[in-house]
């Protein structure tokens, strides 16, 4: 299928086609004795993911595990639907996200407040998952991929308080979710993802340091795809966070309101990103995933509750 890309090591990247866009949301299938899906994409992505899995020979009873890096709807919005398609699969998530997958009502209500009318088009509705099928992860945890291969989870908050990174024991692949920011393969740009309400600079930098210490061979971004140049990329992730926080702090110190702060930060970071000088569609992709308004709002929210 044209939305499935083999990455080696029995790993397949699946374009989950959020809201019909290509190349912005990735899920990954680790094939083997105990097939594992990393990230479901949105609820509207679920049929796309199911078709991709069946093209790889994974039928309804074959999927052993579904794991999400965190419960934002572009990563986990399809969990309920995927759980229904694959009744044998265990659903794995950090303990701070588990209850929202079992009862998504509060998560959906707050998403509705953020996204309004766009919610249905972008994400659809997260369906509940039987709590008995959910396994909650603590600071660390292990997923059995079969044949001695494992996926080790590492708690990595900062972007979200329910975020984990996942390290493959065979390949050294690290699934970074959104903790290292958003990567655009078309241009090689990397931009931070600092949305409200959880963003915390020090915690986020700690998670990036943890990722570096794990010495992964490759980073697999949920937005979007594999990156082999690991240490410089993680350094860039940290640098991006510092720059956005510095600029937002300056705007706040000057007394700018959110709209003006967004305009200022957008303006002063524009030169950093080739995507924003590329065609309109690429720029739009970038804005959709780590939009300046959401990033600046998240940083402002953190500054408001953090003494200097």
State the residues that interact with Zn ion by CB under 5 A: 74, 178
| C-beta of residue 34 within 8 angstroms of C-beta of residue 84 | no
**Cβ closest to Zn ion, residue 77 vs residue 80:** 77
CA distances from 26 to 17, 81, 87, 137 (A): 8, 17, 22, 22
Please report how close the Cβ of residue 54 comes to Zn ion at its closest, in angstroms.
25
Please report how close the Cβ of residue 75 comes to Zn ion at its closest, in angstroms.
5
Contacts of 187 (CB under 8 A, 6+ apart): 273, 274, 275, 278, 282
**Cβ closest to Zn ion, residue 34 vs residue 100:** 100
**Cβ closest to Zn ion, residue 173 vs residue 178:** 178
| C-beta of residue 66 within 8 angstroms of C-beta of residue 30 | no
**Cβ closest to Zn ion, residue 74 vs residue 189:** 74
Which candidate, 27, 43, 36, 44, places its Cα nearest to that of 78? 43
Q: Which two tokens stand for residue 219?
A: 């980073």
Please report how close the Cβ of residue 191 comes to Zn ion at its closest, in angstroms.
12
Torsion of CA 74, 2, 129, 63, to 10 degrees: -140
Please report how close the Cβ of residue 159 comes to Zn ion at its closest, in angstroms.
8
Please report how close the Cβ of residue 132 comes to Zn ion at its closest, in angstroms.
27
Please report how close the Cβ of residue 57 comes to Zn ion at its closest, in angstroms.
28
Please report how close the Cβ of residue 244 comes to Zn ion at its closest, in angstroms.
16
Determine the Cα–Cα distance for residues 180 and 196; give it in Å rounded to an integer: 16
Determine the Cα–Cα distance for residues 173 and 171; give it in Å rounded to an integer: 5
Q: State the residue for tokens 């008995």.
A: 132
Pairing between β-strand 65-67 and β-strand 90-94 as defined by DSSP bridges: parallel
In DSSP terms, 94 is beta-bridged to 137
**Cβ closest to Zn ion, residue 9 vs residue 293:** 293
Please report how close the Cβ of residue 193 comes to Zn ion at its closest, in angstroms.
6
**Cβ closest to Zn ion, residue 34 vs residue 162:** 162
**Cβ closest to Zn ion, residue 70 vs residue 149:** 70
Pairing between β-strand 173-177 and β-strand 182-184 as defined by DSSP bridges: unpaired
**Cβ closest to Zn ion, residue 34 vs residue 163:** 163
Pairing between β-strand 225-227 and β-strand 218-221 as defined by DSSP bridges: antiparallel
Q: Which two tokens stand for residue 162?
A: 């329910």
Q: How many CB atoms lie within 10 A of CB 99?
A: 16
Distance of CA 258 to the CA centre of its chain: 25
């Amino acid at each position: 299928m044209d939305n499935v890309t083999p990455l080696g090591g029995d790993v397949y990247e699946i374009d989950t086609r959020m809201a019909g866009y290509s190349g912005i949301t990735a899920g990954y299938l680790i094939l083997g004795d105990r097939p594992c899906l990393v990230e479901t994409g949105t609820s509207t992505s679920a049929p796309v993911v199911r078709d991709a899995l069946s093209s790889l020979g994974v039928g309804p009873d074959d999927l052993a595990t579904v794991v999400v890096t965190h419960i934002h709807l572009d990563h986990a919005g399809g969990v309920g639907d995927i759980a229904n398609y694959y009744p044998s699969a265990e659903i794995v998530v950090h303990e701070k996200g588990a209850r929202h997958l079992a009862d998504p009502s509060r998560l959906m209500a707050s998403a509705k407040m953020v996204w309004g009318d766009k919610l249905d088009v972008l994400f659809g509705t997260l369906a509940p998952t039987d709590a008995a099928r959910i396994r909650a992860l603590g600071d660390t945890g292990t997923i059995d991929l079969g044949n001695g291969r494992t996926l080790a989870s590492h708690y990595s908050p900062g972007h979200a308080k329910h975020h984990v990174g996942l390290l493959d024991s065979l390949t050294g692949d690290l699934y970074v979710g959104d903790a290292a920011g958003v990567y655009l393969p078309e241009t090689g740009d990397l931009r931070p993802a600092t949305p409200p309400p959880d963003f915390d600079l020090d915690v986020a930098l700690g998670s990036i340091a943890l990722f570096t210490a794990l010495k992964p061979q490759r980073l697999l971004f949920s937005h979007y795809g594999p990156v082999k140049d690991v240490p410089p990329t993680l350094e860039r992730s940290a640098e991006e966070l510092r720059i956005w926080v510095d600029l937002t702090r300056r705007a706040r110190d000057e007394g700018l309101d959110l709209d003006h702060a967004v305009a200022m930060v957008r303006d002063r970071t524009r030169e950093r990103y080739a995507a924003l000088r590329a065609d309109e569609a690429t720029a739009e992709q970038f804005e959709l995933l780590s939009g300046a308004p959401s990033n600046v709002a998240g940083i402002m929210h953190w500054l408001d509750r953090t003494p200097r």
